[in-house]
């Protein structure tokens, strides 16, 4: 009977872990979809920013662009331009319910708008009630012309339109979820969407758009309920206990599946390096075991990766990501923990190098040729790196990677293909 109890317990654990693996796959898919939809809306504000730069802030030209951008971009509720922070134009005009709101002085928008202007970062404001019903969020992008603040370009999104596409598939597949967005100071999260069920042991993913962090929790419905299969093991266990050879086979198969499950949870299927979960777990464990060490947190991404996919196809995009993963293995080796966060973004944690040493190390790396052959053709690409040092610039892994993300963002602002230390900039 003791064997029966152990077997039932092990099978229950194995089933839960299989559920975790499946939940992780659904989580990754939903996270990628959400980030893509939010980034598309953010890109719409960047398109308007580019027009402002090209036309020296001509509101007439901006309004023309608003119409075409609105028609091309999924999920956008309305587009706004706000010179000096005051909304002067909205597309479509019928949705201009708020009038000429002054983002920098309105009580509800002042704090986040001043933060966005002063820090020169895109913020996601909301949720807020829409006059025609429902809730919305606004992606607010500060625009600077000739190093002077010009105003904001803003894309409003109806949250139901945005979240339904990405989250309805979770409910259709039998998963509960909670979606949160951080406040500007990132000290707390606010719930944006939910399946309205209690989650006990969800898998969790974090991602960033602009200055906002997002958190998605996912768990299989009724994950804590003992399955019929486990109950059957308990009922028939006494008979099965006499078949020792079968039991040994089950145990060996279980150990093998455990190893494979662990690999699936922690390793990125495309590049065969750690995924976000694997990188975070191993990096957190390293800092916990050796908090006295010096570490460098890196965020690395491929410059103009969307253009690679658009010009050459997703097969070349995948080969680019695999090649970059191979370069990290070759060059970083045992010096670092590294993994793919998703999309074209990779993370790394370099061990035991001071600021001077790691800067030299990374300068050598970023100057290496990044090219590969595929089906007889050579393809070249470049990368950008943002990094920060622990413990001088961050007190934990989360803060370290957030500052590395800010440093990477500064590279992008200055033309990409560069290397940036948090609060210090070296452009290549």
Q: Which residues of 348-378 are buried (b: 16+ CB within 10 A; e: fewer)?
A: bbbbebebeebbebbeebbeeebebeeeeee
Kindly report the pTM of this predicted structure. Answer: 0.50
Q: Which of 308, 313, 372 is nearest to 344 (CA)?
A: 308
For the segment 95-104, the average pLDDT, to the nearest whole number, is 73
Q: For 245-282, how does the pLDDT look when each residue is reduced to its tens digit (9 = 90+)?
A: 776 666 655 555 566 566 678 899 999 999 999 999 99
pLDDT for the residue numbered 365: 95
Confirm if 269 and 32 have CB atoms less than 8 A apart: no
Cα gap 61→178, rounded to integer Å: 41
Strand-pair partners of 80: 90, 154
Q: For 10-19, how does the pLDDT look when each residue is reduced to its tens digit (9 = 90+)?
A: 665 777 788 8
pLDDT of 356 higher than 60: yes
Cα gap 352→334, rounded to integer Å: 11
Q: For 150-187, how does the pLDDT look when each residue is reduced to its tens digit (9 = 90+)?
A: 999 999 998 887 777 778 888 888 999 999 998 876 66
Q: What would the DSSP string read from start to end of 34-57? A: HHHHHHHHHHHHHHHHHHHHHTTS
**Pairing outcome for strands 345-351 and 189-194:** unpaired
Whether the upstream peptide bond of residue 92 has omega within 30° of 0, thus cis, is yes
Q: For 282-302, how does the pLDDT look when each residue is reduced to its tens digit (9 = 90+)?
A: 999 999 999 999 999 999 999
| pLDDT, mean over the chain | 86
Residues of the chain with pLDDT > 70: what percent? Answer: 85
Residue with tokens 């198969």: 253
Other beta carbons within 10 angstroms of residue 174's beta carbon come to 11
For the segment 96-103, the average pLDDT, to the nearest whole number, is 72
pLDDT of 381 higher than 80: yes
Other beta carbons within 10 angstroms of residue 229's beta carbon come to 11
Top-confidence residue, 96 or 312: 312
pLDDT of 374 higher than 80: yes
> Helix or strand or coil: residue 140?
strand
Q: For 213-231, how does the pLDDT look when each residue is reduced to its tens digit (9 = 90+)?
A: 899 999 998 766 665 665 6
């Amino acid at each position: 009977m003791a064997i029966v109890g152990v077997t039932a317990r092990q099978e229950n654990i194995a089933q839960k872990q299989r559920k975790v693996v499946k939940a992780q796959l659904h989580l990754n898919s939903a996270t990628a979809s959400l980030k893509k939809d939010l980034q598309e809306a953010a890109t719409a504000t960047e398109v308007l920013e580019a027009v402002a730069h090209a036309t020296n802030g001509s509101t007439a030209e901006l309004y023309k662009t608003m119409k075409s951008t609105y028609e091309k971009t999924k999920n956008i509720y309305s587009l706004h331009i706000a010179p000096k922070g005051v909304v002067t134009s909205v597309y479509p005009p019928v949705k201009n319910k708020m009038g000429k709101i002054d983002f920098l002085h309105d009580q509800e928008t002042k704090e986040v708008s001043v933060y966005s202007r002063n820090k020169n970062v895109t913020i996601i404001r909301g949720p807020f009630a829409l006059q025609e019903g429902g809730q919305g969020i606004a992606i607010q992008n500060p625009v600077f012309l000739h190093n002077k603040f010009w105003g904001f370009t803003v894309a409003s999104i109806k949250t139901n339109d945005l979240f339904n596409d990405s989250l309805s598939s979770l409910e259709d597949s039998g998963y509960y979820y909670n979606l949160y967005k951080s406040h500007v100071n990132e000290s707390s999260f606010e719930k944006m969407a939910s399946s309205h069920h209690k989650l006990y042991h969800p898998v969790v993913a974090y991602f960033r758009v602009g200055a906002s962090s997002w958190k998605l929790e996912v768990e299989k419905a009724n994950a804590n309920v003992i399955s019929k299969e486990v109950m059957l093991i308990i009922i028939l266990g006494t008979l099965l206990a006499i078949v020792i050879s079968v039991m040994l086979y089950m145990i060996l198969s279980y150990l093998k599946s455990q190893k494979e499950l662990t690999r699936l949870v922690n390793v990125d299927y495309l590049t065969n390096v750690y995924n976000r979960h694997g990188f975070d777990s191993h990096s957190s464990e390293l800092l916990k075991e050796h908090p006295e060490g010096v570490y460098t947190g890196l965020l690395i991404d491929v410059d103009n990766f969307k253009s690679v996919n658009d010009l050459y196809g997703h097969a070349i995009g995948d080969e680019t990501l695999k090649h970059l993963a191979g370069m990290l293995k070759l060059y970083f080796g045992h010096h670092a923990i590294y993994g793919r966060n998703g999309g074209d973004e990779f993370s790394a944690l370099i061990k035991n190098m001071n600021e001077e040493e790691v800067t030299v190390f990374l300068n050598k790396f970023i100057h290496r040729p990044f090219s590969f052959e595929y089906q007889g053709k050579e393809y070249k690409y470049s990368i950008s790196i943002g990094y920060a040092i622990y413990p001088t610039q961050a007190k934990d892994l989360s803060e370290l990677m957030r500052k590395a993300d800010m440093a990477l963002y500064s590279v992008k602002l200055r033309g990409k293909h560069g290397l940036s230390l948090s609060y210090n900039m070296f452009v290549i």
